[in-house]
């Protein structure tokens, strides 16, 4: 029996058209799922880009704060030193030399403590071997009691900030007496 035009109009009655409709619906649902997934990925990308931009702004703000207020701890440690110096100066005319010297020693201890808390340590190489990385030789002087190339005299102490040289120690280096 031959299919009529009426049979062809009904897709369920035509075996060739029946598979085509199922394929179209399947493709349509797969397309919708892919579009939904693409929208999810786009949304996730936009959120990640926004989070990255917020992170960059926060880091820039923290760096600026570190630049502006990085020496706050040192400054706070120096305030007692200023107070001590001002107190010494205000009492200078009423104190004797021994009392003033004791006040200066106390002030120096306060200053050393403030520097230490800020990560600044002193280099005092008296009697140690000369190290060009940490010391600056001002002169060489003959010495019978010190080994050659050792620090004979410290002219000016050096300082290191958290392992980084701020200022080398200026020293006089020993050399053999016969040279």
Q: For residue range 5-45, what is the model confidence (pLDDT) as tens digits? A: 555 555 444 545 545 777 899 999 999 999 999 999 999 99
Q: For residue range 73-110, what is the model confidence (pLDDT) as tens digits? A: 888 889 999 999 998 888 888 888 898 889 899 999 99
d(CA 118, CA 81): 14
Q: To which residue do tokens 């050096």 refer?
A: 158
Residue 1, pLDDT > 80, answer: no
Question: Residue 53: what pLDDT?
Answer: 96
Q: How far from 19 is each of 6, 29, 30, 31, 127, CA to CA, in Å?
A: 19, 15, 16, 18, 98
Residue 115, pLDDT > 80, answer: yes
Question: Residue 179: what pLDDT?
Answer: 60
Question: Residue 5: what pLDDT?
Answer: 53
Question: Residue 2: what pLDDT?
Answer: 55
- Write the CB contacts of 120 (distance below 8 Å, at least 6 apart in sequence): 74, 159, 160, 161, 166
Q: For residue range 123-151, what is the model confidence (pLDDT) as tens digits? A: 999 989 999 999 999 999 999 889 999 99
Which of the four pLDDT bands, split at 50, 70 and 90, describes residue 173?
very high
């Amino acid at each position: 029996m031959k299919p009529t035009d009426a049979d062809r109009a009904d897709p369920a009655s035509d075996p060739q058209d029946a598979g085509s409709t199922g394929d179209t619906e399947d493709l349509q649902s797969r397309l919708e799922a892919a579009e939904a997934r693409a929208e999810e990925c786009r949304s996730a990308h936009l959120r990640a880009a926004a989070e990255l931009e917020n992170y960059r702004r926060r880091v820039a703000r923290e760096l600026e704060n570190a630049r502006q207020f990085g020496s706050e701890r040192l400054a706070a440690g120096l305030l007692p030193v200023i107070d001590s110096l001002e107190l010494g100066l205000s009492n200078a005319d009423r104190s004797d030399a021994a009392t003033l010297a004791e006040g200066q020693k106390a002030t120096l201890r306060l200053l050393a403590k403030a520097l230490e808390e800020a990560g600044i340590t002193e280099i005092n190489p008296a009697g140690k071997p000369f190290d060009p990385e940490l010391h600056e030789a001002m002169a060489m002087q003959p010495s019978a009691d010190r080994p050659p190339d050792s620090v004979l005299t410290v002219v000016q102490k050096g300082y290191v900030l958290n392992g980084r040289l701020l200022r080398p120690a200026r020293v006089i280096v020993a050399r053999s007496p016969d040279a």
